[in-house]
């Protein structure tokens, strides 16, 4: 009797039916990859029109803290108005809510920016990291973490 119950449940998970859970049709879907482990969280700051980018999370349009599974983190910012946005992420491995640096001031934890841009001697500009989100669309934004 138990096997009759378990087989449909197994089919449900193996076939990916569980991924068909409704997603919003407007917003930004962020996928953070290249995380070196599943420790801590990914801190995400979504900036609109350049205010505070990249490291003033208090000025961000939205922020979130995302769990890591299999060295990957996924987040959806639903119902966003149209406009210019940029994203910065931090792999906060020790969960202290800040970017830890070494004696030379270089990051010890992972970080990344939308458009996967990097700066020459510091973070990239908002202009290079920004993208246009159109209302009524769900936009995929991948970010590859750097260490």
100-109 pLDDT, tens digit per residue, is 999 999 999 9
pLDDT bin (cut points 50, 70, 90) of residue 126 is very high
What is the rounded CA–CA span in Å between residue 95 and residue 37?
13
Condensed to tens digits (0 to 9), the pLDDT of residues 54-68 reads 999 999 999 999 999
Tokens found for residue 87? 């994203």
Q: In degrees to the nearest 10, what's the CA dihedral of 122, 123, 125, 128?
A: 120
Q: Does this model's pTM top 0.85?
A: no
Contact, 42 vs 68, CB < 8 A? Answer: yes
Of the candidates 61, 69, 20, the one whose C-alpha atom is nearest the C-alpha of residue 44 is: 61
**Domains of the chain (ranges, CATH numbers):** 22-144 (2.60.40.10)
């Amino acid at each position: 009797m138990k096997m009759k119950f378990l087989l449909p449940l197994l089919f449900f998970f193996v076939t990916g039916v569980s991924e068909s859970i409704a997603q919003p049709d407007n917003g930004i879907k962020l996928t953070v990859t290249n995380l070196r482990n599943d420790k801590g969280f990914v801190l995400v700051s979504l900036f609109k029109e350049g205010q505070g980018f990249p490291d003033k999370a208090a000025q961000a349009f939205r922020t979130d803290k995302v769990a890591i599974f299999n060295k990957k983190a996924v987040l959806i910012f639903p119902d966003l108005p149209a406009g210019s946005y940029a994203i910065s992420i931090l792999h906060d491995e020790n969960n202290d809510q800040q970017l830890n640096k070494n004696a030379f001031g270089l990051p010890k934890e992972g970080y990344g920016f939308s458009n996967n841009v990097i700066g020459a001697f510091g973070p990239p500009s908002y202009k290079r990291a920004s993208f246009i989100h159109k209302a009524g669309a769900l936009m995929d934004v991948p970010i590859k973490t750097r260490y």
